[in-house]
Each structure stands twice: as structure tokens, then as C-alpha cells.
Amino acid sequence: MSADLVIKNLHVSVEGQEILKGLDLEINKGEVHAIMGPNGSGKSTLANTLMGHPAYEVTEGEIWFKGQNIVKLSPDQRSRLGLFLAFQYPSTIPGVSAASFLRTAVNARRGQLDASGNGNRKGESISMREFRQLLKEKMAMLKMESSFAGRYVNDGFSGGEKKRMEILQMAMLQPEIAILDETDSGLDIDALRIVSEGVNQLLSPNLGVLVITHYQRILNYIKPEYIHILVNGRIVMSGGPELALKLEETGYDWVKEAVAGG
Ligand code: ADP
Ligand code: MG
């Protein structure tokens, strides 16, 4: 049996420049992995490529998810299959409330568009009552005030609120593999703890998580079993939690030297 998500020899170019240079990684549901790497090593490039961002061109290699090569699928198709990305820099959507945004997202994830061309769906959409119940439950889990639901998506949100909004989306969409791109960046220690506890409550045998981070500190809260180090577009080292601690002590120079020397 191959893993739920299999990345094979992935090469990705942005604006004609090769950023990922042959990346291999396998993730199963129920597993928590972390990718650590210095700035500019290609972490967000990997995250955006997995989700199908059009600026990231796969020039070689494959991405298999649940037995299907998804390289040619659109982001919404990938989402329906069960992939999710929490952005490093979430966008603001003035005029659209968080609740309305989330309900649209949940419905889009649930059903395929039918052939009518007028936006109708074959799948069953969530009832208003069921939606409100689910939203209330997930917001409580993330310690979010109920007024949050009525605010425009990320409009005037603090760094911590934006990241909570990302994890709230994840909680509502119930993906099978979730990629968290520097969810720790810009968070103070309290926000980091709340966001991490939210993620931990979502962990289950039906969810695989890829935590992408520059710093070790989020891994004090979300505990991965597997750590991978990304340098210059390749995973140069993989190991257990001890690898993150070693990085914290010695920084990335040690890895770069080990790679250059070996
Ligand atoms: P990380 O997330 O590890 O800091 P990135 O994947 O964001 O690294 O960036 C890796 C390299 O790719 C950098 O040199 C960056 O300038 C370049 N890059 C990434 N995304 C884009 C983009 N959308 N347009 C131009 N260059 C990009
Ligand atoms: Mg990044």
C-alpha cells in the first residue's frame, strides 16, 4: 500500500526559476509531519504547489493523493478530494462575513456542481441550523468570540485572529491532509498556544498534518512524529522529534555544512 499523499521527485519553478529540485515525501492520515527550513528554502512553494496555485509550475515529478496524480487538478478539486492549506499570509475579503464565507466553503466542499451551469449542486448542502451548530462548536474549540462570525474575513483581524480563522476553516472543512504554512508566524505565545491546541483537537486517525515552520517553538505544542529538513529545494534530512531540538540548538548552518560535506 502506498501512502495517502505521495510526493515523488517534485521539481517546481516560479517565474522560470527552479525552486523545488527533486522533493520526495510521503504522508499518511493519522500522521503528523513537520517540514523545517530556512527562509527561502521553498517551504511555501511546496505548500502552494500541493494546493495547485497557478504561479507554481510543476516541471517534473508527481503528487499522488488517495491513489490519483493530482498535478493537473484545480485547487477546488484538490479541496474536494480532502486537501487543505492554511496560508502563511491569509487574504482579507472585505464585504464577506466569516460565517457566510465558511458556509459557502462547506457547501462547495460537499457537492460537485451539477451540469446546469447556474451554480446548483448535486451534493446536499448543509442546513442553516446544522451549519450554525457546527460553527458554534468549532469556534468554542478555538476560543473565538461569537462576534467573529459576523466580521468580514480577516478584515482588521490581528495576526492571531487570522491564523485562528485559518484553523476554523480547517475545522469546518474536515480535510484528510492539512498543510499548515508557518501558522506560528506573527503569533504571540498565547495565540500560538490556542491555535496549536485547536489543531491538536482536530488530530485523528482520519487526518494527516504537515506543519511547515522556520522555528521549533510551534513543535512544543503540536508534536510531529516525523521531521524533515528542507534546504535549497530538497529534503536533506529526515528524522524524529530530536532533529527539531538539534536545529533549535545549532541553527541551520549545521545542516547546510553536513549536506555540503556529505
Ligand atoms: P520559504 O517559504 O521557505 O521562505 P518560498 O517558497 O516562499 O520559501 O520561496 C522560495 C524562493 O522562491 C524564494 O527565492 C522566493 O523569492 C521564490 N518565490 C516563491 N514564490 C514566489 C512567487 N510567487 N513569485 C516569485 N518568486 C517566488
Ligand atoms: Mg514561507
**For the whole model, what pTM was predicted?**
0.92
Residue-level pLDDT, tens digit, the chain, 262 residues: 689 999 999 999 999 999 999 999 999 999 999 999 999 999 999 999 999 999 999 999 999 999 999 999 999 999 999 999 999 999 999 999 999 999 999 998 876 555 555 555 566 788 999 999 999 999 998 889 999 999 999 999 999 899 999 999 999 999 999 999 999 998 999 999 999 999 999 999 999 999 999 989 999 999 999 999 999 999 999 999 999 988 888 888 888 887 776 5
Helix (H, G, I), strand (E, B) or coil at 64: strand
Amino acid type, 6? V
Q: Which three cell numbers, joined as nine digits, stand for 187?
A: 503569533
- Angular region, 188: left φ>0, alpha ψ -120 to 50, beta rest: beta
The Å distance, Cα 45 to ligand 1 centre, comes to 6
* H or E element at residue 228: strand 226-231
Q: What is the secondary structure of 3-63 as a DSSP string?
A: -SEEEEEEEEEETTEEEEEEEEEEE-TT-EEEEE--TTSSHHHHHHHHHT-TTEEEEEEEE
Q: Among the bound ligands, name the one nearest to the CA of residue 231.
A: 1
What SS3 class is residue 98? helix
Q: Is the CB of 38 under 6 A from ligand 1?
A: no
Q: Which residues, at least 6 apart from 254, have a Cβ–Cβ distance to it below 8 Å?
A: 246, 247
Of 11, 18, 21, 44, the residue with max ligand 1 atoms within 8 A of its CB, to mutate for a pocket test, comes to 44
Domains of the chain, residue spans? 1-44+54-66+216-262, 73-175
Task: Provide the phi-psi class of 156: left if phi over 0, else alpha when psi is between -120 and 50, else beta.
Answer: left
Residue nearest to atom 27 of ligand 1 (CA): 14
Q: What class has domain 1-44+54-66+216-262? A: alpha beta
Answer whether 36 contacts ligand 1 (Cβ < 6 A). Answer: no
Identical fold, 1-44+54-66+216-262 and 73-175:
yes
Architecture of the domain spanning 73-175: 3-Layer(aba) Sandwich (3.40)
Pairing of strands 208-213, 177-181: parallel
For ligand 1, whether the C-beta of 49 sits within 6 Å is no
144: which DSSP letter?
-
- Computed over its alpha carbons, how large is the radius of gyration of the chain? 19
- Residue 163: helix, strand or coil by DSSP? helix
pLDDT tens-place string over residues 121-161: 566 788 999 999 999 999 998 889 999 999 999 999 999 89
